[in-house]
Amino acid sequence: MRRLPPVAVQIGIGLTAAALVWAIGSFALDRAGTKPGTVLHGFQPTTANAASPLRQEPPADMVWIPGGEFSMGCADPRGQPFGGPDPMRDARPIHRAYVDGFWMDRTEVTNDRFAEFVAATGYVTVAERPPRPEDFPGASPENLVPGSLVFTPPAGPVPLTNHYVWWNYVAGANWRHPTGPDSSLEGRGDDPVVQVAYEDATAFAAWSGKRLPTEAEWEFAARGGLAGGLYPWGNAFRPAGRFMANTWQGGFPLENTAADGHAAASPVGTFPANAYGLHDMSGNVWEWCSDWYRSDTYSTALAAGKPDRNPSGPADSFDPQEPHEKKRVLRGGSFLCSEEYCARYIVGTRGKGEPSSGCNHIGFRCVKPR
């Protein structure tokens, strides 16, 4: 259910205290290699389909992703440079999956493009609608105002185990005003649209004749043909010192040095594309996928004993960290992800979000079948 104050969003996704203890306790069990450039265990080569979309004109601003069979998931990133403290157990076991070829947006959907959709349809996003009292029994009337979640750095040092302290429900925050009523899209037409709930993203996709990617499609595309790469471009976070993605540098959540040039979202395509021509598959803003999130999706897939063909995710959602919340998959991390916290710019890692809650670091991109 859509989050109202007090904020209860689980995005970005830190460690709960319990998970931290569990993480430390399990550290020795499946620690990954530690040298930069190490090829992580458990991956087999990607076998891309040879078939190309002959005689079909590429849809505007989309690239062809050949599909094929690949190893999906992430080895324990702890110990890897920029790997962070989280074992990311929901991204294992690494298992084989197969996806058919498809077209994919080269970039996250931009503010300008989303504005075209709204102008054409009159669509009103979830964050712009007043929360319904029947959906929030017991909520005080002053809290039933349109708004959304905004990253707000705390005043001083905080433990990284409680994300509530840096997410605030801000009245009047929505896609037109990403961080609140005083913010605007002026000069940000090429930034990714944010403050979009899952249903906003699917509404845009339907209008544009596309759909959201499945989690498997998203990961196949993000890997750019590489097997087991830590990032969409390879295994070095900053090859030759170059920033390849918009993430967070400095001590999260207080010190954002923006060494990569961007303290918040960057115009799409600012950073280099992967081998398939896709930008910002790591960082910038999170991207909605169509799958329900379950922490055990990958163990279920492996148990099937054969490559999962065009998997579309489980029939329901279960997140043991918040068992009563249904969640959809989010992928790629955002400008708020750092080595110290989140680290989900690592390509095989997984995120999750409550579908009716937008956020100022969640966006999306679309795909289209052949």
Q: How many residues does the structure list for the chain?
A: 370
Q: What is the rounded CA–CA span in Å between residue 277 and residue 269?
A: 10
Count of chain residues binding Ca ion (CB under 5 A): 7
66-74, 123-131, 258-266, 310-318 -> range binding Ca ion (CB under 5 A): 258-266
**Residue choice 77, 87, 253, 332 for contact with Ca ion (CB under 5 A):** 332
Strand partners, 170: 148
Residues with Cβ within 8 Å of residue 13, at least 6 apart in sequence: 163, 342, 344, 351, 352
Q: How far is the CB of 128 from Ca ion (least distance, A)?
A: 23
Find, among 15, 164, 16, the residue nearest to 78 by Cα: 15
Nearer to Ca ion, 4 or 230 (CB): 230
Residues with Cβ within 8 Å of residue 157, at least 6 apart in sequence: 254
Our finding on whether 280 is near Ca ion (CB under 5 A) is yes
Nearer to Ca ion, 169 or 290 (CB): 290
DSSP code of residue 219: H
34-42, 181-189, 235-243, 272-280 -> range binding Ca ion (CB under 5 A): 272-280
Nearer to Ca ion, 135 or 255 (CB): 255
7-15, 43-51, 55-63, 261-269 -> range binding Ca ion (CB under 5 A): 261-269
CA torsion sign for 75, 79, 81, 87 is positive
Q: How far is the CB of 219 from Ca ion (least distance, A)?
A: 13
The pair of three-digit structure tokens given for residue 61, joined into one six-digit string: 């601003």
Our finding on whether 361 is near Ca ion (CB under 5 A) is no
Helix 111-121 and helix 198-207, axial crossing angle in degrees, nearest 10: 70
58-66, 196-204, 218-226, 279-287 -> range binding Ca ion (CB under 5 A): 279-287
Find, among 323, 338, 364, 329, the residue nearest to 166 by Cα: 338
Nearer to Ca ion, 147 or 283 (CB): 283
- Asked whether the beta carbons of 138 and 6 are under 8 A apart, the reply is no
Nearer to Ca ion, 94 or 281 (CB): 281
Q: How far is the CB of 246 from Ca ion (least distance, A)?
A: 5
The amino acid occupying position 23 is A
Our finding on whether 284 is near Ca ion (CB under 5 A) is yes
Q: Are strands 362-363 and 286-292 parallel, antiparallel or unpaired?
A: parallel
Q: How far is the CB of 74 from Ca ion (least distance, A)?
A: 16
**Residue choice 2, 89, 188, 262 for contact with Ca ion (CB under 5 A):** 262
Nearer to Ca ion, 76 or 260 (CB): 260
Q: How far is the CB of 180 from Ca ion (least distance, A)?
A: 20
- Asked whether the beta carbons of 335 and 243 are under 8 A apart, the reply is no
Find, among 344, 330, 348, the residue nearest to 220 by Cα: 348
**Residue choice 111, 195, 246, 360 for contact with Ca ion (CB under 5 A):** 246
Q: What is the rounded CA–CA span in Å between residue 146 and residue 149?
A: 11
Q: Return the half-sphere exposure (C-beta side, CA atoms, 13 A cut-off) of residue 250.
A: 17
Q: How far is the CB of 110 from Ca ion (least distance, A)?
A: 12
**Residue choice 335, 341, 345, 364 for contact with Ca ion (CB under 5 A):** 335
SS3 135: helix
Find, among 125, 124, 183, the residue nearest to 152 by Cα: 183
Our finding on whether 260 is near Ca ion (CB under 5 A) is yes
139-147, 246-254, 296-304, 317-325 -> range binding Ca ion (CB under 5 A): 246-254
20-28, 120-128, 132-140, 326-334 -> range binding Ca ion (CB under 5 A): 326-334
199-207, 288-296, 302-310, 335-343 -> range binding Ca ion (CB under 5 A): 335-343
Nearer to Ca ion, 117 or 271 (CB): 271
- Asked whether the beta carbons of 333 and 283 are under 8 A apart, the reply is yes
Q: Return the half-sphere exposure (C-beta side, CA atoms, 13 A cut-off) of residue 260.
A: 28
Q: How far is the CB of 322 from Ca ion (least distance, A)?
A: 23
**Interface residues toward Ca ion, by CB under 5 A:** 246, 260, 262, 280, 284, 332, 335
